[in-house]
Structure 1
Amino acid sequence: MDVKKLLAIAALSLVLTSACSNGSKTQMSDKKETIKVSTENTDLAKYDKLVKEKNIELKLEPLELTNYKDKIGATLTNPKYKKFAVNKELTISGVIEKEDQLKERYAWVKVSSLDIIDSNSVQDYYIPIENGTFKEDIHFYNGKGNYSIRVMLPATDRNNYYYDL
């Protein structure tokens, strides 16, 4: 009987030791993840600072829209400038007063790399127009470089046709 009790205690202590050691590994993993996230946030802050400095150098000029904006009562809330710096992504957003007159329900955004010219250098985004607004983050898949961004809105007179904003 004493041997059975001894084996039971040994087995129980083995189970408890295993459970504790797994928890310790999880806690260590969480600490590593926290450190990794903190480092990434520091890097983002560094790059955001560089973007702000670059935009000061660029002497930002307001973006000029086409006459189509008047026909449908559209404004582009972001971006606001012709040439500017960003870090990895950019929010494209706008407002359309006469949304009910549009033949389609998406804003079409074409992002073209000006540094890399090939079939993969153009990215198309179709941003839903809901309650007179559209908004989406776009990404620059070709990395650092110069890009052209073209925002187009649906026609009021025919299907599958878009005008430059």
Structure 2
Amino acid sequence: MLLLPFLIEVDSRGLTVRLRGVTTRLPWESVEALTVTEIAESWHLDIRLAPGMKLGGRLPSKRDRQRVYTLLPMDEFTVAPDEVIAALQRCGGDRIDAEQYLQHLAARRTLARFVAEYNAEQRRTAAEKGGGSSAGSDLRQRAESPE
């Protein structure tokens, strides 16, 4: 199956979104909200438009009786998710709601740092004792496995 590329351009006047070969220019006044939401253990960028506005190339879903379009999973952008959110916040201001996602990223980074520091400490301790230990790899496996 051939999938056409997704493109989103952000500037001070609004968004230009290209989905499935259809380009839609959305001035900021027509965008009620851009949110990053968790759907089935994946984070997605959603857009809610003002009444009467439509986004070409995508069918909306109804949430709280409002038309919402899911644009793209955050991990499928070609730039880092932090950069995507920063650009949207710079231009879209308070229309952007990514707080839960940013907290999720911060928690993942904190956990990764903790695991790395713990494993380094375990290796140091094992080296000082002159033996090996699998405790660090056990912790890494538990931290990476879904529960």
What is the TM-score with the length of structure 2 in the denominator?
0.29
What is the TM-score with the length of structure 1 in the denominator?
0.26
Q: Where is the strand percentage greater, Structure 1 or Structure 2?
A: 2
Higher relative contact order (CA 8 A, sep 6+): 1
Q: Which structure has the larger Rg over C-alpha atoms?
A: 1
